[in-house]
């Protein structure tokens, strides 16, 4: 092969690599912008933080925080991370601290960053979820490997069962629609710990999924019910452990925002004008056929005006 031909081939190959890299770089921010903040967490090593005797919070990996409750005979894991790899890494870390078998998986709700790691669990795992959560998972799971776990999920409608891990009882509670219509609270009475999933956020407004029949006013009621429990520590999907004062502060901030929006609605303010009063803009359109992840002010305005979920138009 002549030198000139070789140089030409190398130049073409280099140009293709550069163009390919550029396209990938351009595509990535678009994907990230279409996702809510909790799906953009930077992966970190899986770590277990001891909260109380036999109760741990799991951070790191892909997806939301999870929790571990250890009894004398069984271990319960709350939520499953966002990927099979992270779920497997979590289970490996749990086995380093206890020889008790991991037999139970509980879902706090159906968001992908909490449930998509389900395939990292053993095929004979016992699974519990509120019935609405299973319904949303059934709608979302397209992969046959994920769908194989759906028959394993036992559901509860209201109240929820009490599960005995051997010397330690755990209550699975449902107080009504809030972040979604299927949020479960996992309560460990002897440790005075309540695991809330995405019912609690710190340093930012809570996320309410209207496309999953979540409701901001329902969120207030649910958090008030949570505070009626004899719990001192509250774990969640996207924050450090919280105290009763932290949860009370979130309720107060949420109610204050609801009251301000209510006053603006009573004055006949449009959604655009209401958002402007908070220094906000309307949530950008969703991707094709997907619901928008709205800011809290928009959610409250839509609830008070009895408006429906706004979807991006489908392509013809």
174 contacts 184 by C-beta, under 8 angstroms? yes
Over residues 136-165, the mean pLDDT reads 94
Strands of the chain, DSSP E: 47-52, 55-59, 66-70, 75-78, 102-106, 126-130, 153-156, 162-164, 169-174, 184-188, 193-195, 233-235
- Structural domains of the chain ordered from first start: 37-245 (3.60.15.10)
65 contacts 59 by C-beta, under 8 angstroms? yes
**CA 105 from centroid of its chain's CA atoms:** 15
239/154 Cα distance (integer angstroms): 28
Query: Which pLDDT score, from 0 to 100, does residue 282 have?
Result: 75
8-state DSSP, 38: G
3-state SS, residue 106:
strand
For the stretch 91-125, pLDDT in tens is: 999 999 999 999 999 999 999 999 999 999 999 99
298/314 Cα distance (integer angstroms): 22
Strands of 5-156, DSSP E: 47-52, 55-59, 66-70, 75-78, 102-106, 126-130, 153-156
Read off φ and ψ for residue 305, nearest 5 degrees. Answer: -100, 5
Exposed/middle/buried for residue 225 (C-beta within 10 Å: 0-12, 13-18, 19+): middle
311/282 Cα distance (integer angstroms): 13
291/64 Cα distance (integer angstroms): 21
Query: Which pLDDT score, from 0 to 100, does residue 166 have?
Result: 97
Which has more confidence, 125 or 10? 125
206, 276, 308 from 305: Cα distances, Å? 20, 17, 9
Q: Helix, strand, coil shares of the chain as percentages rounded to 5?
A: 40, 20, 40
For the stretch 176-223, pLDDT in tens is: 999 999 999 999 999 999 999 999 999 999 999 999 999 999 999 999
pLDDT band at 286 (very low <50, low <70, confident <90, very high): low
pLDDT band at 147 (very low <50, low <70, confident <90, very high): very high
Find the helix packing angle between 296-304 and 216-227, rounded to 10°.
110
Least confident of 133-142, 153-162, 201-210: 153-162
Q: What pTM does this model have?
A: 0.83
150 contacts 129 by C-beta, under 8 angstroms? no
Q: What are the tokens at 288? A: 């094709």
Residue 234 has pLDDT above 50, yes or no: yes
Question: Residue 102's closest CA among 125, 118, 82, 123?
Answer: 125
Half-sphere exposure of 34 (CA within 13 A, CB side): 13
pLDDT band at 307 (very low <50, low <70, confident <90, very high): confident
Query: Which pLDDT score, from 0 to 100, does residue 40 have?
Result: 52
Q: What are the tokens at 169? A: 């009882």
For the stretch 45-71, pLDDT in tens is: 999 999 999 999 999 999 999 999 999
Residue 42 has pLDDT above 70, yes or no: no
């Amino acid at each position: 092969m002549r030198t000139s031909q070789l140089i030409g081939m190398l130049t073409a190959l280099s140009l293709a690599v550069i163009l390919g890299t550029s396209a990938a770089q351009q595509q990535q921010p678009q994907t990230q912008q279409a996702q809510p903040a909790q799906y953009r967490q930077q992966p970190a090593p899986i770590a277990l933080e001891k909260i109380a005797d036999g109760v741990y919070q799991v951070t790191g990996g892909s997806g939301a925080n999870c929790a571990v409750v250890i009894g004398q005979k069984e271990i319960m894991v709350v939520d499953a991370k966002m990927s099979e790899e992270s779920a497997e890494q979590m289970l490996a870390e749990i086995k380093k601290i206890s020889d008790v078998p991991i037999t139970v998986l509980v879902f706090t709700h159906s968001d992908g960053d909490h449930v998509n790691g389900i395939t990292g669990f053993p095929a004979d795992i016992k699974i519990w979820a509120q019935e609405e959560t299973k319904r949303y998972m059934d709608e979302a799971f397209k992969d046959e490997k994920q769908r194989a776990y759906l028959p394993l999920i036992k559901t509860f409608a209201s109240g929820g069962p009490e599960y005995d891990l051997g010397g330690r009882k755990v209550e699975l509670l449902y107080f009504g629609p809030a972040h979604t219509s299927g949020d479960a609270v996992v309560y460990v009475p002897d440790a005075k710990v309540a695991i809330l999933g995405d019912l609690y956020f710190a340093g930012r407004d809570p996320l309410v999924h209207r496309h999953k029949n979540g409701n901001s006013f329902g969120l207030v009621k649910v958090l008030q019910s949570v505070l009626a429990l004899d719990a001192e520590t509250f774990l969640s999907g996207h924050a450090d452990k919280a105290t009763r004062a932290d949860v009370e502060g979130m309720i107060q901030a949420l109610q204050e925002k609801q009251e301000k929006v209510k006053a603006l609605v009573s004055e006949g303010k449009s959604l655009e004008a209401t958002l402007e009063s908070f220094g906000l803009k309307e949530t950008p359109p969703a991707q094709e056929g997907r619901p928008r992840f709205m800011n809290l002010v928009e959610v409250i305005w839509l609830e008070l005006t009895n408006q429906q979920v706004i979807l991006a138009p489908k392509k013809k």
